[in-house]
Amino acid sequence: MMKKTLRWLILGGTLFFLAKALKDNWQEVATIYIDGVGWSILVIATGITLLAHIWAGWVWTWVLKELHQPIHPTQFIQVYLRTNIAKYLPGNVWHYYGRIVGAQSAGVSAAAAALSVLLEPLLMAAAALIIVIMGSQVLVSHSILVLAAQIVGLLVVLAVMHPQFLNRLLSLLQNLKLKKSPKKSVSTSAINMKRYPLIPLCGELAFLGLRSGGFLLTLLAVEPVNWHQLPLLIAAFSFSWLLGLVVPGAPGGLGVFEASAIAMLQHRFPVAVVISAIGMYRLVSTLAEVLAATLAWIDERRTVY
């Protein structure tokens, strides 16, 4: 009950913030004009964001390889892209469920499929925190306490992904499963990670780089951007994206990402420009996800027939 209430409070608070920001600046937002060059830039931004999602699917296959699963990368990228759009459903877990089911259907063990789905958002969160900490000195309202919290959060996430921790957790879960089903035949083959998932972590850093590039281009379509503003924009985007990933009650980060980005950028850019660019980026991102799912579906049908 508390969790459900918290979700509604977060959703209500973010929607109220967004509604107030739009109400206070709607006249300026209405004057924003995107010319032909701007629309061309938005098309490129959509393409880069589409590439980011395809890349994320490829990184997921790296995670499965770290778990020593025999996979065909193209097939699993298709599964990733098809299920990604399900994150906008209430609960924000259905894309993970779809990946577990899809991985199992392709011959991956249930334990490896579940662990890969657990590791993916942890790797993404670690990548986002690394980028935010590197650019923390340019963020608005930066403080030592905020930086300390970010560093502690990163260390916790990195520690959780360590093979020693994960292997012990998997062993514990396996033992619990054996105790609950002593009469059933339960496979004792354990899923072990032999090394730290450093390569997938680097892959997620590249994923955040591509997503940041799509956001920067979207802003560029609305307002000129100077080179010295790039660290601020990348750090603000990464932190807002991270909050959208981890805050409950926000399917696909909807509302949380927008409110966070506006709060961090409104003191450095005209509020109307920030609202327009962030709203446009949500459309760009969603369109890229729909295109990715459609292309994956078409490619699957082509492979079958």
Triad 273, 276, 280: Cα angle to 5°: 135
Q: Which two tokens stand for residue 97?
A: 């469920």
pLDDT at 6 over 60: no
Q: Is residue 11 part of a domain?
A: no
Q: What is the pLDDT of residues 22-53, one digit of tens each?
A: 665 666 566 677 888 989 999 999 999 999 99
**Is residue 30 a part of any domain in this protein?**
no
Residue 3 lies in a domain: no
Give tens-digit pLDDT for 234-265: 999 999 999 989 887 677 777 888 888 988 88
- Cβ atoms of 64 and 71 within 8 Å: the answer is yes
* Structural domains of the chain, count: 1
- Choice between 139 and 109, residue whose per-residue pLDDT is larger: 109
Residue 13's pLDDT is 61
Flag whether 1 is in a domain. Answer: no
Given phi > 0 = left and psi -120 to 50 = alpha, else beta, which region is 252? Answer: left
From the list 230, 214, 199, the residue with the least C-alpha distance to 277 is 214
Tell me: pLDDT of 17 over 70.
no
Residue 105 falls inside a structural domain? yes
Domain that holds residue 203: 37-140+197-304
Cβ–Cβ under 8 Å, residues 49 and 284:
yes
Indicate whether 185 belongs to any domain.
no
pLDDT, tens digit (0-9, with 9 covering 90-100), for 128-181 = 999 998 877 656 555 677 778 888 999 999 999 998 888 887 777 666 665 665
Residue with tokens 């924003």: 32
Residue 297 belongs to some domain of the structure:
yes
Q: Is residue 190 part of a domain?
A: no
pTM for the full predicted model: 0.87
